[in-house]
Structures are given as C-alpha cells and as structure tokens.
Structure 1
Amino acid sequence: MADNRKSCLSGKGVTKVFGFGGNRTVAVDHVDFDFKEGEVVSIVGESGSGKTTLAKMLLGLINETEGDIYYQGEKRDIRTQRKKREYWKNIQAIFQDPFSSYNIFNKIDSVLLDCIRMRGGGRLPYEQKREMMTEACSFVNLKFEELTNKYPFELSGGQQQRLMIARIFLLKPKILLADEPTSMIDACSRATILDMLMQLRDEIGMTPIFITHDIG
C-alpha cells in the first residue's frame, strides 16, 4: 500500500563537523532522512554517535556544515530570528533532563503563559488562559491549582517531564523531538510519559521523533 503522507522534515547529506584541520571531529556524516506527517520515528544509536547533534540541527540550534534540511517539502530558511521563531512554533523538543529546560526564576504559571503567548494568545482574557492551562495540566494528570505558586524545581523528575508535555499540549507543534525523554525517571513514570506522548500525537496530530540509545 502506498504511503500518501506528506513529508514534514527531511534532509540530504546533512553533515556536522566540529573543529578545524587535525582537530576536526565529524559528528554527523552525510545523513539522509525523510520523516512523514503523523508517523512515529526513532533515531537509535550509542552514546557519541551524533544523535543529539542531529537533533540540534533539526531544531535550528546549530547550523549544518554541509547538506540541506527541508521543512514541509521546502528548503528550510531560518536565517533571521523572526524566521526561527516561526519555525519553533512548529517544532519543539523534550530533553532527558527536564530541569535544565526551565528558567529557575519563573513560576509554573509563567512557563505555561509563555506557551500561550507564543501561539498568539497573549491578549486573551486571563480566565480563558487559565482554562487552557488547566486543560493542559489535566492532560498530563497534574492539577493546575496546586502548581500556580510553585517553581518547576519543586516538582519531582516525572512531574517536571509531564509539565514539559503540558507545554507541548499548549504549543501544538507539528513535530516533537524527544531526546531520551525518559532516561532520568523511574520505570513507572517512564511508561506514563511515553503513553502521554502517544496520546498527544493523536490529540494534536504531531509527528514524534524519539532519540534514544535503547533499542528496546
């Protein structure tokens, strides 16, 4: 059966080299890929194989040395900050250490309000924003009213990762890069997080890309 799903993110000969001359390190070497809308993708490799470097290039956090990356069939253009912000509305990430993803000075409601603003809802009445934040927290089995005066570092590792998923629920990206999202939490929380990510894929129609060293 033919796969009629459109390409959402692809690359040709994507390469990343760090250093110069005799100190050159090839982290990613002429990689080709084509991820389709709605499919579940896994990038698997041992530590040091270039998985996270590739993820950073896909996110636009670092530039590729050679090759081209295409978004929705067109060559990606993120040369200005405005274009990067537009791109980041549609591609987001969850990393293995959720704590490092948060600004330690921002309370949880500020974290979630930033997501609403990023999606263009900054001028909505606060009550409507509160409903959106409550819904996002409920999706990941957190109670918003218990979080409003807390900072992310006051949560457990599993709760911090669930809060990251609540952010994704509000941002509604087309693509989610999940870089070892369960490696720093216990086995019970791990299964819950993966289940939530798959529910989120069905809820908002995103393409999850899992990056892992664990082939199982």
Structure 2
Amino acid sequence: MSKNNKNEVVMSVKNLTKIFKSGIFNPEYTTAVKDVSFDIEKGKIISLIGESGSGKTTVGKLILKLINPSSGQIIYKGQDIAEITDKKDTQKYYRRVQGIFQDPFATFNPLYRVDRVFDMIFDSYELGFSDKDEAIRKVLHDVNLNPDRTLGKFPHQLSGGQLQRLLIARALLMDVDILIADELISMLDASTRIGVLNLLVESCKKNGMAVIFITHDLNLGYYISDQSLIMYKGRLVERGATKKIYENSTHPYTKMLFEAVPEIGDRWDPEEEFLPEQVVGEVKDFYQNNQGRGFVEVEKGHSVLFSDE
C-alpha cells in the first residue's frame, strides 16, 4: 500500500481518559483527559490546540506510551498499544511512533556530539540502508542542514533550530508513521520558526508521515494543519477541518480563543479585562442549554461538543 494513500487511518484514539492520583491517605484525583476520540491519517497534520492545563500534552504522552491511560484505547495497526508490554514489541512501536519536544537542548546529551542521535537508532533498529553515512548525509540535506557543518559538533555549537531539524531528520531516517511534535517551535526565534514548519509540512506530504502538532498558538495551527482539535479542561470540544473551525467556530471556548488573538492595527485597550470565570460560565450555560446532545456534526467535517454528559 502506498504511503501517500489519502484518508488512510494509521491510528485511532477511542474514548481516551487519564486520571491522575495524588496523595495516599486522602488521595485527590485529577482528570487530565476525558473521553477523547479522533483518527490520525497518513500524511496529515493535526493541530492539538488548547491553553496550559487543557490536556493536550497528556494526550501526546499517552500516544508515546510515556504514561498509561485510565480507560479508552489507542489502536495502532489493529492493536491496543496498552497491550504492547514486551520489550521487543515496544521497540518496534517506537520505531514508527516518535516524539519531538519543546526544548531541543534537553534532548541532546551535552557530553556527546550530535551524531550520537543517529548512531543510537542504527544500533537499535534495522533501517535497511546499505551505506549508513550516505543515508545520514542525504537526510540532513533534506532538512536543509549542511552535513559538513553539522556532524561532529556538540549541541552547544548549534542553534535551537538546527537541533530541531536534526530531530526531524532522525524521524525521517526512521521512516516513522506518526510524529508527536509538542510545542516544537515555541523556543525558536521568529525567523527560524517558519523554516521548521515548512519542513514539517514538506516531510508529511513527501513521506506520508502523520504529525500531531501540539500548540497553544492558533495562528500556527491554522498555518500548518489539515485538521484541528480544540481541547478545554481535558475534553475535546471542537474538531474537524482546520479551515472550517477557524471560519465557523461554535464552542464558547473556541470563540474565546479566537477573540483573544490580537489583530494587526487594533489598539490595545488597557481597560479591557480577561475574566476566566466568564468563559467558565459561558461554557456551563452552553452545555445546560444543549443537554443530551453530546458531539454533533455542525457541518461536514466539523463537530462540536454541545454537552459534556
């Protein structure tokens, strides 16, 4: 089957819930993710959007098997990944599902040259390249890095943008199915961001890699993604084609996110206040007025959570 087949689902997230417990004698329970469902399609970019504490990073960690779900399923190649416990099978999973995180400097050991990220995957996996060095140089060219100026360097000798490109190169070399990009460019300067984003888009379309782009930035989500998922207090409240959500946002929380985005030319009103409790109240009223409706498709390819029951 071609890697570029459209609408090919590579992973299904079904009713995913994660509850954290803290304390022993008087334990407290926090629901970080509740009843989240969506499909990941080959060659598509999904933006998972929400403010801090919305649960979006927890979803990424669940997909990467860094934490275990309280309930629900993540189905990859017909198997619930919670059933993958054997070391060899887990290694096979990470061969195809990888993550890149916010701080590229934290990913690299400062005591080793950056080449080590490639050495480690060649030591761990059978990648099928007859010439390892040639494969590395080619993939570096693909991410717009000069091999002669990159290989042999220590992490502190490269910029954050270069290190992120190295991690994308590693994912391409492994030919991953799914890449979790958690706040991938938030630590990069503005001039570097667009290059990394464009590289991500090109890699998806060329190699059929699917990306979960976790961000709090609506503008970045609009620029890069095919689909968008809006999260609020652990719930998925709006999902669908990015253009449709941005042009016809329906859930009160989604509307609030868009209203909070500053527009060029608009003067900032120092008297204007943002009241979080007002948003909470609007969401509560929205759910009460639509009791029992649940997730509803408001237009083709665009669904909204009308009630959280």
Report the TM-score when normalising by structure 1.
Answer: 0.90
Q: Which has the higher contact order (CA 8 A, sep 6+)?
A: 1
Specify the code of the residue in structure 2 equivalent to 1:159: Q
Q: Which residue of 1 aligns with 2:21?
A: 19
For 1:19, what is the secondary structure of its paired residue? strand
Are 1:89 and 2:91 an aligned pair?
no
Q: Which has the larger displacement, 139-148 or 78-87?
A: 139-148
Q: Which residue of 2 aligns with 1:29?
A: 34
Give the distance between the partners of 2:108 and 2:149, measured in 1 at CA.
Answer: 18
8 Å Cα contact 2:44/2:204 also seen in 1: no
Taking the TM superposition and a 5 Å limit, the aligned residue runs for 1:99-138 are: 99-121=105-127, 128-138=131-141
Which among 200, 204, 209 is matched to residue 207 of structure 2?
204
Give the distance between the partners of 1:147 and 1:22, measured in 2 at CA.
Answer: 50
For 1:89, what is the secondary structure of its paired residue? helix
Overall identity of the aligned pairs, in %: 39
Give the distance between the partners of 1:153 and 1:171, measured in 2 at CA.
Answer: 25
Specify the code of the residue in structure 2 equivalent to 1:81: K
8 Å Cα contact 1:89/1:118 also seen in 2: no
Q: Which residue of 1 aligns with 2:157?
A: 154
1:144 deviates by 1.5
Q: Which residue of 2 aligns with 1:177?
A: 180
Q: Which residue of 1 aligns with 2:148?
A: 145
Q: Which has the larger displacement, 18-27 or 44-53?
A: 18-27
Specify the code of the residue in structure 2 equivalent to 1:27: A
Are 1:46 and 2:48 an aligned pair?
no
Give the distance between the partners of 1:177 and 1:101, measured in 2 at CA.
Answer: 14
Q: Which residue of 2 aligns with 1:67?
A: 72
8 Å Cα contact 2:45/2:210 also seen in 1: yes
Are 1:191 and 2:194 an aligned pair?
yes
Distance 1:92 1:132, change over 3 A: same
Distance 1:53 1:120, change over 3 A: same
1:96 deviates by 1.2
Deviation sequence 1:8-47 (CA, Å, 0-9, x none): 1112221111115651111111111112222221111111
Listed as ranges, the gaps of 5+ residues in structure 1 are none
Distance 1:133 1:116, change over 3 A: same
1:4 deviates by 6.5
Number of positions where the alignment pairs a residue of Structure 1 with one of Structure 2: 211
Specify the code of the residue in structure 2 equivalent to 1:141: N
1:138 deviates by 1.1
Specify the code of the residue in structure 1 equivalent to 2:50: G
Q: Which has the larger displacement, 202-211 or 17-26?
A: 17-26
1:116 deviates by 3.1
Listed as ranges, the gaps of 5+ residues in structure 2 are 220-309
Specify the code of the residue in structure 2 equivalent to 1:17: I
Give the distance between the partners of 1:162 and 1:4, measured in 2 at CA.
Answer: 26
1:121 deviates by 4.2
- 4+ aligned runs moved over 4 Å, structure 1: none
For 1:117, what is the secondary structure of its paired residue? helix
Distance 1:121 1:72, change over 3 A: closer
1:63 deviates by 0.4
1:106 deviates by 2.4
Kindly report the root-mean-square deviation, in angstroms, between the aligned alpha carbons of the 2 structures.
Answer: 2.0
Give the distance between the partners of 1:204 and 1:171, measured in 2 at CA.
Answer: 11
Deviation sequence 1:80-127 (CA, Å, 0-9, x none): 2221111011111111111111222321222222233344149x66xx
Give the distance between the partners of 1:87 and 1:61, measured in 2 at CA.
Answer: 12
For 2:185, what is the secondary structure of its paired residue? coil
